[in-house]
Chains A and B, each alone.
Chain A
Amino acid sequence: MKRLSLTATALVALMAAMPAAANELRIGLQDDPDVLDPAQSRTFVGRIVYTALCDKLVDLDQDVEIVPQLATDWTTSEDGLSLVMNLRDGVTFHDGTPFDAEAVVYNINRGMTLPESRRKSELASIASIEATGPLQVTFTLTAPDASLVAQLADRAGMMISPTAAEEMGADFGSNPVCSGPFKFVERIQQDRIVLEKFDDYWNADNIHIDRVTYLPIPDTTVRLANLRSGQFDMIERVAAPDVASVKADPDLSLAEAVGLGYMAIYNNVGNGDRADNPLGQDARVRQAFSMAIDREALNQVVFEGTAKAGNQPFPPNSRWYDQSNPVPERDVEGAKALLAEAGYDRVPIVLQHANNPVVTQTMQVIQAMVAEAGFDVELRATEFATLLSEQTAGNYQMSRSDWSGRVDPDGNIHQFVTCDGGINDAGYCNPEVDEHLNAARATQDFAERKANYDAAGKILAEDLPIIYLGHQTYIFAMDDGVEGFEAYPDGMIRLEGVTDAD
C-alpha cells in the first residue's frame, strides 16, 4: 500500500511538471516535410520550414506583390530576355560563407543542373546567369518569361551556402545551411525539426524568437488538442468545423488568408479512351454540370463559410480574376435545358475523388446538387496516390483534385490547359488558348497579360476542361501569447515581428 501511494505521488509530481521553454515557438504542421533541400523538395510543409530557414531572392507581401528579400531591386530588359538583380550587402550564410553574386550564380546553376533537382521546369527559361558585379547578377533568358521573378519567390530562389552544398552534394538535406533568420539544429523524421535563431541574420532585430520547433501532426483534432493543452504555440491548417470553437476560446486566436490555389473537378475531354462519354465529348454537358452546382452553398455547408467560392483559376480577390465572369448562381433549369439541347435526359458519370472526409463531403453535396439537373454521379473514393496516377494516365471520367497555387498566374493555368502542358490531365487542346497563354507569359505588362488571361478564361469557361469550385483558406490558430503573426496567401509562416509571451 505504501509503495502504491509512493508511485501515485511520483505520478502526480511528474504530471505536474509540464515543459515550458521561454521564447521557444512550437508549431504544429499537417505533414512531415520531405528532404530539406530547396532544390529537391516538393512538399508544402517543407516550404513552411524554409520560410524560417532559407531566405529567397525575393518574397511576397500579403497582396501577392513581389518584394525584395536577398535581392534589393531588379529590372527586366525591354525585350524581356535579360533580368538584372542587385543583391543585399552584408548577408552571410549560417556557416559564415558570405552571400554574394557568385553564391547566387552557384545556386541557380545548381537548381538547373543537379540531377535530383525538381526546380528545372521552374528555371527552364534561363539560358545562363552570370555575376556582373560583386553584388549583381544578370540572368539571360531563352524567351521572355514573366513568371520568372515569381518563381524566385519560392524554392527556386532560395539561397543555400555554396560551401555546404559542395561538401554535401545531394545529401545537403540532412544538414541544410542557408541564410534565413533561423539555422538548422536537428531533425527527427516524422517527429520534429528544430531551428534556432541565427544571430548574424541581416534582419535579426526583427526576430524575437530564439528557437522554433516544427512538429508534424496529420490529425486535425489532435493538432488542435495540442494547441489547447499548451503543447503548441501555433498550428497551421485548422479544420473548418473547428473554427467556431477556436473563435469562442478566449485563449486562442485565428489568422487566415485566402490561398493562391483552387479546388476543381478535372473533366477527361481527350486523355485516352475514357474521354469517350457524354460529358467528355460535349461542352454543353459540362456547362450543365457546372451550372447545377451552388458554389456558395458548398462553401457554407462543407467549409462553414471559411473557404471562398470561385469559378476561375484565381480567387475572386486576386487582381488576375476576371470580374466580367463572376461566380455564377446555381441554375438547375438552365442546366436541364442545356442537357436537353445536347440530347440527354439523364447522364451517368463516374467521378473519382480523394478519400478524406472534407473532399468526400464536398462530393456528396455536389452529387446531390447535380442529380437535380439530370446527372447520375457515381462517386469513387480513392486513396490519394492512386487518384493521382489514374488522373495522369487518363483513367477517369471526372476527377476532383486541388492545386496549391503559384504566385504568378501562369503557374495556375498554363501547364493544365495548353496542348503540351506538363500536367494537362484533362487532355484539352485549343490552339487559341495556347496562343493567349503563351502571349501572357511573354510580357511584363500587367494590362496586356490580364487581357490575355481574360481572353483564355472566356474560352475555357465555355469549354470547361476544368470546373473550378472555389479556393481554400489557410487558417492558423495560436495561443494568446503569440503576437504579431500575419497570414499570407501562400500559407507560409513568416516569423519576422512575431513575439511569444510564454
Chain B
Amino acid sequence: MPIYILKRILGALPTLLIVSVLVFLLQKLLPGDPVLALAGEERDPATLALLREQYHLNDPLVTQYFRWLGGVLTGDFGISLRTNQPVLELIGQKLPVTLQLAAMSMIFAMLIGIPAGIIAAVKKNTLLDWIANIVALSGLSIPNFWLGIMLILLVSVNLGWLPASGYESPLVDFWLSIKTMLMPAFVLGTGLAATLMRHTRSAMLGVMSADYIRTARAKGLSTSEVVLTHSFRNALLPIITLSALLFGELLAGAVLTEQIFTIPGFGKLIVDAVFNRDYAVVQGVVLCTAVGFLLMNLIADVLSVIMNPRMRSAL
C-alpha cells in the first residue's frame, strides 16, 4: 500500500507541472495589464514603468515562469501585487475557511442525499421516490446565487436568525462560526445532495436486485438489516468515489457561494485575484487547488481499497 501511494504521488507531479504552465500561459493571454489594474487612477506612464520594473513584468515569459517555479520549489510563492502579502500566507489564511465550508456542505449533502437516495431506492416508484426525485431535481436546477440571495432575505433580513454574510473563525467563536457558515453550506450542499441522491439511488437499485440480497431476504432478515448492512455497504463504493470527485465541484461551487456570502475563502481569493490581475495569487491558488483535487482522488482510491477487500489484489 505505501508503495502504491508513493507511486501515485510521483505520478501526479507531471500533472501539476502542466497545470502550472497552463495557468501561467492562460493568465498572460488575458487581456488587461496587471500594472494598470494595480495603479488604479494613478496610472501616469512614469508610475506604470516603475511598477513594471518592480514586478519584473518586462522580462521574457520563460524567465518569469522559471523565476516563479524556482520560488515555489523553495517555498516562496511570491507576494500579492495588491496587498504585498506573501501568497503562501494568504493561502494559509483562506484554505481553512474554504475547507470548513466544503466540509459543512459535504455533511449537508450527505445528510440529505444519502438517506433520500436509500429511501427512493427502497420505495422505488412510490410517492416517496417521486418526492425525493423532485427535491433532487430542484436542488440541481436552482442556481446557487439565487437560492443564496433568497435565503439571506428570508432567514437574515426577515427572520433575523442567522448572519447575512461574512465569516468568523471557529477558534475565535465556535458557535458564531457554525452559524455564519450554515446558510452558505446549505446552498452549496443542495446541488451536491441532488447528485449524491441520484447516484445512491441507482447504486442501491443495482445492488438490491442482486442474488445475495434475495438470499438475505429469504433467510428472513429484517428489511432494515437487508437495506443497511447488505445493500448499502456494497452500494457505498461508487458513492465514495463520487464524493471525492464532487470535491472538485465543491471547490468550483465555493467560488460562487463565497462571492454571495462574502466569505473570505479560496474562491473569493481567486476571483478577486483574477480581476486585479494579481498573477502570483492566481498561480498559487490554482496550484494548491490542483494538489487538493489530486489528493482527494488518491484518498478516494485508498478508501475504496479499504472498503472493498477484493480490490487489494489489484494493487
Contacts and interface: CB of A to CB of B under 8 A. Distances in A.
Interface of A: 14-19, 32, 34-35, 40, 42-43, 115-116, 118, 120-121, 170-171, 173-174, 188-192, 215-219, 221-222, 225-226, 228-231, 382-386, 388-390, 392, 403-404, 415, 422-423
A169 to B, nearest CB: 11
Interface stretch (B162-170, B225-233, B243-251): B162-170
Interface in B255-293: 259-262, 264, 268-269, 272, 275-277
B306 to A, nearest CB: 28
B297 interface: no
A306 B148 CA distance: 28
A32 B264 CA distance: 10
Contacts of B46: 120-121, 422
B66 interface: no
A239 B260 CA distance: 16
Contact of A389 (B36, B161, B269): B36
Contacts of A19: 163, 176
A385 B166 contact: no
Contacts of B236: none
B82 A215 contact: no
Contact of A422 (B44, B85, B269): B44
Interface of B: 30-33, 36-47, 50, 54, 82-85, 90, 93-94, 149, 152-153, 156-157, 160-167, 175-176, 178-179, 259-262, 264, 268-269, 272, 275-277
Of A170, A188, A221, A385, which is in contact with the most chain B CB atoms at under 10 Å from its CB?
Answer: A385
Contacts of A229: 156-157, 160, 163-164
Contact of B277 (A192, A226, A385): A385
A15 B161 contact: yes
Given A121-B47, A189-B264, A217-B165, A14 B178 contact: yes
Contacts of B54: 115-116
29 contacts: A15-B162, A32-B272, A35-B84, A188-B93, A189-B90, A189-B94, A190-B94, A190-B264, A190-B269, A191-B166, A215-B166, A217-B165, A218-B259, A219-B260, A221-B149, A222-B164, A222-B261, A228-B156, A229-B156, A229-B163, A231-B164, A383-B275, A385-B33, A385-B36, A386-B32, A389-B32, A392-B33, A415-B44, A422-B46
B264 A389 contact: no
A409 B166 CA distance: 39
A222 B264 contact: no
Contact of B262 (A18, A116, A218, A382): A218
Contacts of A404: 41
Given A230-B160, A390-B31, A191 B167 contact: yes
Contacts of A222: 149, 152, 164-165, 260-262
Contacts of B153: 225
A172 to B, nearest CB: 10
A361 B280 CA distance: 34
Given A34-B82, A35-B83, A403 B41 contact: yes
Contacts of A15: 161-162, 179
A192 B168 CA distance: 10
Nearest to A19: B176
Given A386-B30, A389-B33, 9 more contacts: A32-B272, A35-B82, A42-B38, A189-B85, A219-B259, A385-B33, A392-B36, A422-B44, A423-B44
B260 A121 contact: no
Given A43-B40, A189-B93, A228-B157, A118 B84 contact: no
Contacts of A189: 83, 85, 90, 93-94, 264, 269
Contact of B42 (A42, A171, A384): A42
Nearest to B175: A14
B186 to A, nearest CB: 12
A58 B53 CA distance: 34
Contacts of B179: 14-15
Nearest to A261: B41
Contacts of A225: 152-153, 156-157, 164-165
B203 to A, nearest CB: 26
A226 B165 contact: yes
Nearest to A422: B44
Contacts of B264: 188-191
B39 A118 contact: yes
Contacts, number: 142
A385 B163 contact: no
Contact of A386 (B31, B50, B166): B31
A14 B41 CA distance: 45
A482 B83 CA distance: 31
A386 B30 CA distance: 8
B35 to A, nearest CB: 9
A42 B83 CA distance: 11
Contacts of A192: 166
A229 B94 CA distance: 26
B76 to A, nearest CB: 16
A388 B259 CA distance: 23
6 smallest beta-carbon distances between A and B, as pairs:
A422-B44, A385-B32, A191-B264, A42-B40, A190-B264, A229-B156
Nearest to A34: B82
B96 to A, nearest CB: 12
Contacts of B82: 34-35
A121 B42 contact: yes
A392 B277 contact: no
B37 A385 contact: yes
Contacts of B33: 385, 388-389, 392
A133 to B, nearest CB: 33
Given A191-B264, A423-B44, A18 B160 contact: yes
A501 to B, nearest CB: 18
Contacts of A34: 82-83
Contacts of B272: 32, 190
Contacts of A115: 50, 54
B59 to A, nearest CB: 18
A216 B262 contact: yes
Contacts of B38: 42
Nearest to A224: B157
B152 A422 contact: no
A118 B42 contact: yes
Nearest to B83: A35
Contacts of B83: 34-35, 173, 189
Nearest to B263: A191
Nearest to B48: A392
A42 B39 contact: yes
Contacts of B39: 42, 118
A219 B85 contact: no
A216 B276 CA distance: 16
Contacts of B152: 221-222, 225
Contacts of A226: 156, 163-166
A422 B43 contact: yes
A170 B277 CA distance: 21
Given A19-B176, A221-B149, A190 B47 contact: no
B32 A388 contact: yes
A18 to B, nearest CB: 7
